[in-house]
């Protein structure tokens, strides 16, 4: 009976279309949680903006896109790639848009970094080291995580560069890395938790912001390695047009998303290890 009550309560809070025009839900990729918690708090304090409650829900980016397409009634999303926004729009009949926002709806950008044990005992320097038989690595699954998608693309890109753009050799390099990696069917934060608990793993690939967060809080345990060639990761915002039309929240949602490009929110992004669009910040 208690389980039924809990499930009904969760459904009532998250899935109901009549959440209220002043209550917005932003569904975002897992590693953006720190940023959105602080940005939401800053926005909610500004009563002149007319909103009293913006909340966010976080999980692996691919998981989040799938949940929204399957019926999660959110007002907006922040997903890892523009491709996910496009796929979501296709599944929802063109119901996700980003044209009304600056910087192609990307309020900040990032990259993928490698996190190693303190002192980097295996001497890991870049993508080539992930293929070494003496290196134990953990990667987030591209089927779940935005960090997993970007990691896959970065490894493939490196394989293309080192093989003089040979598809066969690049794909062989990708297979070599992934066949010997431990794959976590989790978002970036929980993938790192697996790495932190299991000392037999030498390296994990994750968002730069996530790497900075854990190294800043635990510098005696972990270190960051930037591969010589990196990938530019650009998370993207999208308005869920069908949902905001149904709920009457389009104007409020657009106001909140535009807030994420203001100096106040851009400073929050920088403090959270994200690279802000505002060059001065």
pLDDT digits 0-9 by tens, 198-252: 999 999 999 999 999 999 988 899 999 999 989 999 999 999 988 999 999 989 9
Give the pLDDT band (50/70/90) at residue 94. Answer: low
For 246-263, letters b (16+ CB in 10 Å) and e give ebebbebbbebbebbbee
Burial (CB count <10 Å: 0-12, 13-18, 19+), residue 180: middle
Would the pLDDT of 173 be above 80?
Answer: yes
Burial (CB count <10 Å: 0-12, 13-18, 19+), residue 43: buried
Residue 52 has a pLDDT of: 58
Chain centroid, CA 275 distance in Å: 13
Q: Which helix (H) or strand (E) holds 114?
A: strand 108-117
Q: Please provide residue 100's backbone torsions phi and psi, each rounded to the nearest 5 degrees.
A: -80, 0
Neighbouring C-alpha atoms within 13 Å toward the C-beta of 226: 10
Please give the average per-residue pLDDT across 42-63, as a whole number: 79
Higher pLDDT residue, 48 or 10? Answer: 10
Q: Which residue has the tokens 């293929």?
A: 131
Distance CA 201, CA 116 (A): 9
Tally the residues of the chain: 281
Per-chain mean pLDDT for the chain = 89
Helices within 19-145 (DSSP H only): 33-45, 61-69, 82-91
Higher pLDDT residue, 5 or 214? Answer: 214
Token duo for residue 199: 């000392």
H helix and E strand count, the chain:
11, 12
């Amino acid at each position: 009976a208690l389980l039924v009550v809990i499930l009904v309560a969760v459904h009532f809070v998250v899935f109901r279309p009549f959440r209220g025009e002043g209550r917005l839900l932003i569904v975002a990729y897992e590693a953006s949680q720190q940023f959105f918690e602080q940005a939401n708090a800053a926005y909610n304090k500004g009563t002149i903006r007319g909103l009293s409650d913006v909340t966010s829900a976080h999980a692996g980016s691919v998981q989040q896109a799938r949940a929204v397409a399957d019926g999660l009634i959110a007002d907006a999303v922040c997903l890892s790639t523009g491709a996910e926004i496009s796929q979501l729009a296709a599944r929802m009949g063109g119901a996700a848009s980003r044209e009304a926002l600056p910087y192609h709806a990307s309020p900040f950008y990032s990259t993928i970094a490698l996190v190693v044990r303190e002192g980097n005992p295996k001497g890991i320097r870049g993508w080539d080291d992930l293929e070494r038989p003496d290196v134990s690595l953990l990667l987030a699954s591209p089927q779940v995580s935005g960090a997993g998608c970007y990691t896959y693309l970065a490894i493939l890109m490196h394989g293309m560069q080192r093989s003089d753009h040979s598809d066969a050799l690049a794909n062989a390099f990708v297979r070599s890395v992934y066949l010997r990696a431990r794959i976590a069917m989790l978002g970036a934060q929980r993938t790192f938790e697996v790495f932190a608990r299991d000392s037999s793993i030498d390296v994990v690939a994750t968002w730069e912001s996530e790497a900075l967060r854990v190294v800043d809080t635990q510098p005696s345990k972990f270190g960051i390695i930037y591969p010589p060639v990196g990938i530019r990761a650009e998370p993207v915002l999208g308005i869920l047009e069908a949902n905001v039309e149904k709920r009457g929240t389009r104007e409020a949602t657009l106001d909140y998303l535009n807030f994420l490009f203001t100096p106040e929110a851009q400073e929050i992004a920088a403090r959270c290890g994200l690279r802000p669009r505002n060059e001065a910040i």
